[in-house]
Amino acid sequence: MATGFVIRQNQYYDSVFLMSVNRRISEVKGVQQTAVLMGSPANKQLLKDIGIQDGPIETAQPNDLIVAVIAESQAIVVNVLRRLDEWLEAIQENAPSLSVRTLEDGLSQKPNANLAVISVPGEYAAREARKALEAGLNVFLFSDNVSIEDELMLKQLAKEKGLLVMGPDCGTSLIGGKGIGFANAVRRGPIGAIGAAGTGLQEFTSQVHNAGSGISHAIGTGSHDLSGKIKGLTTLTALDALEVDQETRVIAIISKPPEASTLATLLERIKTLKKPVVGCLLGIDTGSLNGKTNFQPARTIDEAVRLAVALSSGQPASTSEVLSTEGLAVLQAEKKGWSPEQKYLRGILAGGTFCYQSQQILHEAGYTIYSNSPFDQNYRLANPDQSIEHTIVDMGDDYYTVGKPHPMIDGTLRKRRILAESHDPQVAVLYLDFILGYNASMDPVGELLDAILEAKRLSKQRGGSLTVVASICGTENDPQVLGLQMKMLQETGVIVFCSNALASTALCQLLGKG
């Protein structure tokens, strides 16, 4: 393995342009990992995390371009870096010209706007968000790498002005039926949602739609909102907004575990709400939350959907995620094809919430799961690229997305990981998630089909059989079309489920514990 980098001083590019350059470089044969980014402190730390550090990188400034390459040989590294100007010029020539470059430009064209969507490098994001708040705009802050101090400052300012800050690192919202960021095509309806994670909100809103109900608004908060430092400022503001919203009859909250003091504050506020609240706080014992006034806890996102739909319709909740007799038979038939040495699960996921919920369900079934984003911190992978026994990896983690498109947009990195895992003769089960919707890949299944087929071929060649399980988050109204994506997987021999929780339940059965 060889590494190399170049630094271009005072050569600034926006994140969309950088991702285009990175994708071009990553397609070169023999290139294993790339990073194309600006020299901010956060980005330099991300370079350290992938093993790229040097004196010149340490002294690079936020306006300096850094391009780093890890490849099979030094010759490939040299060739890639030598061709950098060629790629920069080619992408610049094809880039569309923009008439709106600043917040002021946008307001001059849309003077009645009340929401600003901000997606700039993290070191500039807080400044732009503050400008938007001071102009009286609510903020959807897609940018990550914003400090916790800046987040607190922005949300306190928003509270003073009666505004909402969705983010930082907010992947999804649905406001008045309009999706922002990664969002699915769902009907309007009586259920309002608040979510700290984008894929968690996508799963909840898609399942509500597929259950025949609909969403009034879905408000993303950013992953740190329920921390001890932020104390749920956006979540509490969102509760206030949904309480007075005439279309909303039931409110659902989807999140990883809040900090204890923040959870106490949240439950106190829920007591006074005039509308019922369903809470899926992944990883928290639901028994400890039972009996709280006006609050119904849910163990999984699927259960949160059932409870919310039942409360909004006045009908009893439907049954839980139980596999059918036919489904169990399919799983047992799959296991018969395994060789004696096949015994491990490898999950290669695009959704961080799915990575966490899968681990929770498997943990409850008695399994130890290693991860780069672990449910149990004792089982954090020392090297995210190296699986250990049962492993589920969040490929949307910063380690993998530094200077690269998110795996929901581009499946290249997941394809490589599938092929890498396929060479381990002990792997019995491969688990993948596919997330549909606006701004996601237009063919997420198609991007990975060749890798899936090759992985199954290699396993068969060794005398075994690789079981591939997939979950799909989406609706028939999404641009990618749920039914079409499912059919493509099924025709390839993949066992497909319409929820992460149900797929994870199937994984428990495959591995031997119900």
Q: Residue 81 falls within a domain, yes or no? A: yes
Residue 63: per-residue pLDDT: 84
73 & 172 share domain: no
The sign of the dihedral angle between the CA atoms of 179, 184, 187, 191 is: negative
357 & 266 share domain: no
Q: Residue 320 falls within a domain, yes or no? A: no
End position of a domain, from candidates 313, 340, 365: 313
Quick check: 103 and 139 in contact, CB under 8 A?
A: no
- pLDDT tens readout for residues 48-87: 888 888 889 999 988 889 999 999 999 999 999 999 988 8
Tell me the mean pLDDT in the region 216-238.
96
Residue 96: per-residue pLDDT: 65
Residue 312: per-residue pLDDT: 95
- 468 band by pLDDT with thresholds 50, 70 and 90: very high
Q: What is the CATH number of the domain that holds 45?
A: 3.30.70.60
- 105 band by pLDDT with thresholds 50, 70 and 90: confident
Residue 513 has pLDDT above 60, yes or no: no
Residue 120: per-residue pLDDT: 83
269 & 335 share domain: no
284 & 386 share domain: no
What is the model's pTM? 0.88
204 & 178 share domain: yes
End position of a domain, from candidates 290, 313, 336: 313
| 183 Ramachandran zone, left/alpha/beta (phi>0; psi -120 to 50) | beta
137 & 84 share domain: no
Residue 380: per-residue pLDDT: 97
The torsion angles phi and psi of 155, rounded to 5 degrees, stand at: -75, -30
Query: Directed axis angle between helix 482-490 and helix 444-461, to 10°?
Result: 10
Tell me the mean pLDDT in the region 137-156.
94
118 & 235 share domain: yes
334 & 226 share domain: no
Residue 135 has pLDDT above 90, yes or no: yes
- The whole-angstrom separation of Cα 301 and Cα 394 is 18
Residue 121 has pLDDT above 70, yes or no: yes
Of 60, 45, 44, whose CA–CA distance to 7 is shortest?
Answer: 60
Q: Domain of 433?
A: 325-511
Q: Picking from 31-35, 146-150, 243-247, which range would have the lowest pLDDT averaged per residue? A: 31-35
List strands edge to edge, sheet with 65-71: 2-8, 65-71, 31-38
Q: Residue 318 falls within a domain, yes or no? A: no
Q: Residue 319 falls within a domain, yes or no? A: no
Q: Residue 433 falls within a domain, yes or no? A: yes
Residue 98: per-residue pLDDT: 64
Total of domains in the chain = 3
Residue 25: per-residue pLDDT: 87
Length of the chain, in residues: 514
138 & 191 share domain: yes
402 & 489 share domain: yes
Residue 103: per-residue pLDDT: 87
278 & 383 share domain: no
The residue assigned the tokens 């909740």 is 317
Residue 224: per-residue pLDDT: 94
Q: Residue 463 falls within a domain, yes or no? A: yes
> pLDDT over 90 for what percent of the chain?
72
Q: Mean pLDDT over all residues of the chain?
A: 92
Q: How many helices (H) and strands (E) does the chain have?
A: 19, 18
Q: What is the CATH number of the domain that holds 239?
A: 3.40.50.261
Q: Residue 17 falls within a domain, yes or no? A: yes
- The whole-angstrom separation of Cα 456 and Cα 463 is 11
189 & 254 share domain: yes
- 97 band by pLDDT with thresholds 50, 70 and 90: low
Cis preceding-peptide flag for 168 (omega within 30 of 0)? yes
Of 166, 274, 158, 148, whose CA–CA distance to 220 is shortest?
Answer: 166
- 461 band by pLDDT with thresholds 50, 70 and 90: very high
3-state secondary structure 273-285: CCCCEEEEECCCC
End position of a domain, from candidates 94, 129, 149: 94
Q: Picking from 96-100, 415-419, 495-499, which range would have the lowest pLDDT averaged per residue? A: 96-100
